[in-house]
Amino acid sequence: MARYLIGRILSAIFVIWLVVTLTFFLMHAIPGGPFSSEKVLPDQVMANINARYHLNDPLSKQYFDYMNNMLHFNFGPTFRYEGRTVNDLFAAGMPKTGALGGLATVISLIGGTVMGVVAALRQNKTADYFVTFLATIGISVPSFVIATFLQYYVGYKLHWFPPVGWGEMKNLVLPAAALSAYPIAQITRLTRTSMLDTLNQDYIRTAKAKGLPGYVIVFRHALRNALIPVVTFLGPFFAYILTGNFVIEFVFNIPGIGQFFVTSISNRDYPVIMGTTVLFATLLVTFNLLVDMAYTIVDPRIKLTGRKEA
């Protein structure tokens, strides 16, 4: 296990390095710079800017400087927001993105599991059809459509929750609902399918024959095994929560970090592009590792080893 972990961590570091390096050179390859604008600056002003931000240094020097700073957790100043650093932006935005993503995670996991179990227990009955219908909508309608829909009808027409903004619990409801629509649908489908599968297993029949009450069978015996495929989904799930955040944050004007993922590129804000890349790459790699470790907890048959075993 320890050996496996060390191997995984080393390969994770390699992946992050590769992503960061590729991003660095790609970013400098696209036309237009952080300070190019519709109104062209006088040459001498541009020269001063390039000197201040070291944009005139050879690319290799900029690269090594960046890597060096990165190792010291210094992600540099943002070019767009004068006087603030990438670390400042992240410190301000992370808790908000985290709160939204966290709430969406809770809603998806609980809601998805419950709906999946209900659908499986009531297979081919009204409740099952209803849940399947909802799940199909959740999977096929993009989150920005759901977000706009909720914002307009639930926020603006019904006045149940504020349509945009941040600061209070009630501001979180619509964005979290929009963000969890897709994962909740996926988890529902996965839970339903594997629950149906599990309920037909011999040991469930044995449990029933022993005369155990229904809730014990469902919660103690069936659900645990039924959740293994759901754990598999957690890797892509976290990736979705991270990237899906951007759209949701934009629509509801939430001051998180998701927006920087895209706006930094159109602004050519090099340090923020790099910062978001490092951050998101690290989070994804870490989540994937955690998911792999979670397998061993949920399913004791799986062993993590460094070698491939037959």
Summarize as ranges the residues that interact with other proteins (CB under 8 A): 30-33, 35-45, 47-49, 51-53, 80-84, 88-89, 92-93, 95-96, 98-103, 105-106, 148, 151-152, 155-156, 159, 162-169, 172, 224, 250-253, 255, 259, 266, 268, 294, 297-298, 300
Q: In this structure, what token pair is assigned to residue 290?
A: 């955690």
Minimum separation from the CB atom of position 196 to other proteins (A): 23
- Supply the minimum distance, in Å, between the C-beta of residue 47 and other proteins: 8
Q: Characterize 8-29 residue by residue with b for buried, 16 or more Cβ atoms within 10 angstroms of its Cβ, and e for exposed.
A: beeebeeebeebbeebbeebee
CA dist 271 and 279 (Å) reads: 12
How far is it, in rounded angstroms, from Cα 70 to Cα 76? 8
Question: Smallest distance from the beta carbon of 172 to other proteins, in angstroms?
Answer: 7
- Residue 85 has φ and ψ, to the nearest 5°, of -110, 165
Cβ-proximal residues to 70 (8 Å cutoff; 6+ apart), any chain: 20, 274, 278
Residue 310 CB, nearest distance to other proteins (Å)? 25
Closest separation between CB of residue 52 and other proteins, Å? 4
Task: Please identify, using beta-carbon distances, which residue of 7 and 33 lies nearer to other proteins.
Answer: 33
In sequence order, what are the residues at sequence separation of 6 or more whose Cβ sits closer than 8 angstroms to the Cβ of residue 211?
A: none
Nearest CB to other proteins, comparing residues 130 and 166: 166
- Residue 226 and residue 209: Cα distance in Å, rounded? 20
Q: Between residues 158 and 310, which has the closer beta carbon with respect to other proteins?
A: 158
For the CB of residue 98, give the shortest distance to other proteins in the complex, in Å: 4
CB closer to other proteins, 35 vs 130: 35
Q: Which is nearer to other proteins, 40 or 310 (CB)?
A: 40
Q: Which is nearer to other proteins, 7 or 165 (CB)?
A: 165
- Shortest distance, position 26 Cβ to other proteins, whole Å: 14
Give the residue with the Cβ less far from other proteins, 131 or 198: 198
- Concatenated DSSP letters for 184-227? HHHHHHHHHHHHHHHHTSHHHHHHHHTT--HHHIIIIIIHHHHT
Query: Cα torsion for 258, 260, 266, 267, to the nearest 10°?
Result: 170
